[in-house]
Structure 1
Amino acid sequence: MTKTPDSVVRTYIEQHQGEFLADLSDWLRIASVSADPAAAGEVRRSAEWLAAKLTETGFPVAEVWETEGLPAVFAEWPSGEADAPTVLVYGHHDVQPAAKADGWATEPFDPTVIGKQLFARGAADDKGQVFFHTLGVRAHLAATGRTAPAVNLKLLIEGEEESGSPNFAALVRREAERLAADVVIISDTGMWSETTPTVCTGMRGLMDAQIDFAGPDTDIHSGSFGGAVPNPATVAAELAAALHDADRKVAIPGFYEGIVELTERERELFAALPFDEAQWLRVAKSYGAEGEAGYSTLERIWARPTAEVNGIWGGYTGPGGKTIVPAEAHLKLSFRLVAGQEPEKVREAVREWVATQVPEGIRYELVFPGATRPCLTPLDHPALQATVRAMGRAFEQEVLFTREGGSGPAADLQDVLGAPVLFLGISVPSDGWHSVNEKVELDLLAKGVETAAYLWSELAESRAGA
Structure 2
Amino acid sequence: MTTTSDSAVREFIAEHRPAFLDDLADWLRIPSVSADPGRAGEVRRSAEWLADKLRSTGFPVAEVWETENGGLPAVFAEWPSGDASAPTVLVYGHHDVQPAAREDGWDTDPFEPVVTDGRMFARGAADDKGQVFFHTLGLRAHLAATGRTAPAVNLKLLVEGEEESGSPNFAALIRKHADRLAADVVIISDTGMWSADTPTVCTGMRGLADCQIDLFGPSQDIHSGSFGGAVPNPATEAARLVAALHDADRRVAIPGFYDGVVELTEQERELFAELPFDDTEWLSVAKSRATLGEQGFSTLERIWARPTAEVNGIWGGYTGPGGKTIIPAEAHLKLSFRLVAGQDVEKVRQAVAAWVTAQLPAGIRHEIVFPGATRPCLTPLDHPALQSVVRAMGRAFEQKIRFTREGGSGPAADLQDVLGAPVLFLGISVPSDGWHSVNEKVELDLLAKGVETSAYLWGDLAEHWNAAD
Calculate the TM-score normalised by the size of structure 2: 0.99
- SS state of the match for residue 313, structure 2? strand
Name the counterpart of 2:425: 423
What is the identity, as a one-letter code, of the residue corresponding to 1:186? I
Shift of 1:360: 0.8
User: Residue 283 of structure 1: which of 277, 282, 285 is its match?
Assistant: 285
SS of the equivalent of 1:260 reads coil
Q: Hey, what does 2:411 align to over in structure 1?
A: 409
Corresponding residue number in structure 1 for 2:8? 8
String of CA shifts for 1:82-122, please: whole Å, max 9, x gaps.
Answer: 11000000000000111111111111111110010000100
Consecutive unaligned residues in structure 2, runs of 5 or more: none
Q: Give a deviation string over 1:380-400, Cα, whole Å, max 9, x none.
A: 000000000000000000000
Distance, in Å, in 2 between the alignment partners of 1:344 and 1:104 is 42
Deviations 1:131-184 (A, max 9, x none): 000000000000000000000000000000000000000001000000000000
2:108 corresponding residue in structure 1: 106
Q: Does 1:315 align with 2:296?
A: no
Matches within 5 A, 1:333-348: 333-348=335-350
Give the match's secondary structure for 1:364.
strand
> How far 1:411 sits from its partner (Å)?
0.7
Deviates more, 1:349-358 or 1:20-29: 349-358
- The AA in structure 2 aligned to 1:31 is P
Q: Distance in 2 between matches of 1:276 and 1:163?
A: 33
Amino acid in the other structure paired with 1:105? D
In structure 1, stretches of 5+ residues that fail to align are: none
Alpha carbons 1:84, 1:150 under 8 Å: kept: yes
Which residue is 1:158 aligned to? 160
- 1:280: Cα distance to partner? 0.8
Q: Is residue 335 of structure 2 the alignment partner of residue 324 of structure 1?
A: no
TM-score, normalised by the number of residues in structure 1: 0.99
1:299 paired to 2:301:
yes
Q: Measure how far apart 1:3 and its partner are.
A: 2.8
Q: Kindly report which structure 2 residues correspond to 1:245-260, keeping only aligned pairs within 5 A, or say none.
A: 245-260=247-262
Q: What is the letter of the counterpart of residue 308 of structure 1?
A: E
Q: What is the identity, as a one-letter code, of the residue corresponding to 1:332?
A: K
SS at match of 2:409: coil
Q: Hey, what does 2:84 align to over in structure 1?
A: 82
CA distance in 2, matches of 1:346, 1:113: 47
Give the partner amino acid of 1:123: A
- Deviation per CA, 1:225-256, whole angstroms, max 9, x where unpaired? 00000000000000011000000000011100
Match of 1:38 in 2: 38
The 1-side partners of 2:121 and 2:278 are apart by 27
SS in 2 for 1:371: coil
The code of the aligned residue for 1:450 comes to E
**Structure 2 letter corresponding to 1:19:** A
Which residue identity lines up with residue 414 of structure 2 in the other structure?
A: D
Which residue matches 1:56? 56
Q: Distance in 2 between matches of 1:234 and 1:462?
A: 60
Q: Which residue of 2 aligns with 1:383?
A: 385
Distance in 2 (alpha carbons) for counterparts of 1:396 and 1:353: 51
Q: CA deviation at 1:367?
A: 1.2
SS in 1 for 2:35: coil
In 1, the alpha carbon distance for the partners of 2:214 and 2:307 equals 24
Query: After superposition, what is the alpha-carbon deviation per residue over 1:324-358, rounded to whole angstroms, capped at 9, x for unaligned?
Result: 00000001000000000000111111111111100
One-letter amino acid of the structure 2 residue matched with residue 312 of structure 1:
I
- In the alignment, the residues of structure 1 paired with residue 104 and residue 139 of structure 2 have an alpha-carbon distance, to the nearest angstrom, of 37
By how many angstroms is 1:374 displaced? Answer: 0.2
Alignment of 1:176-215 (within 5 A): 176-215=178-217
Asked if 2 retains the 8 angstrom alpha-carbon contact of 1:3 and 1:454, the reply is no
Alignment correspondent of 1:367: 369
Of 150, 153, 158, which residue of structure 2 is paired with 1:148?
150
Give the Cα separation in 2 of the matches to 1:3 and 1:316. 71
Question: Which residue is equivalent to 1:442?
Answer: 444
Q: Tell me, what secondary structure is at the counterpart of 1:388?
A: helix
Alpha-carbon distance in 2 for matches of 1:113, 1:368: 44
The residue number in structure 2 matching 1:130 is: 132
Distance 1:11 1:336 in 2: 44
Q: Secondary structure at the match of 2:332?
A: strand
Residue 366 of structure 1 and its aligned partner are, at CA, apart by 1.2
Distance 2:60 2:279 in 1: 48
Aligned length, in residue pairs? 466
Q: Distance in 2 between matches of 1:175 and 1:260?
A: 31
**CA–CA distance in 2 between the matches of 1:154 and 1:258?**
33
| Aligned residue type for 1:407 | S
Runs of 4+ in 1 over 4 A off after TM superposition: none
1:2 Cα shift? 3.5
Work out whether residues 140 and 454 of structure 1, in 8 Å CA contact, stay in contact via their aligned partners in 2: yes
Whole-angstrom CA distance in 2 between matches of 1:280 and 1:176: 41
Measure, in 2, the Cα distance between the counterparts of 1:139 and 1:378: 29
* Counterparts of 2:40 and 2:280, CA distance in 1: 42
Describe the SS at the equivalent of 2:302: helix
Does the Cα contact within 8 Å between 1:232 and 1:328 map onto a contact in 2? Answer: yes
How far apart are the structure 2 equivalents of 1:297 and 1:118? Answer: 32
Q: Distance in 2 between matches of 1:228 and 1:443?
A: 69
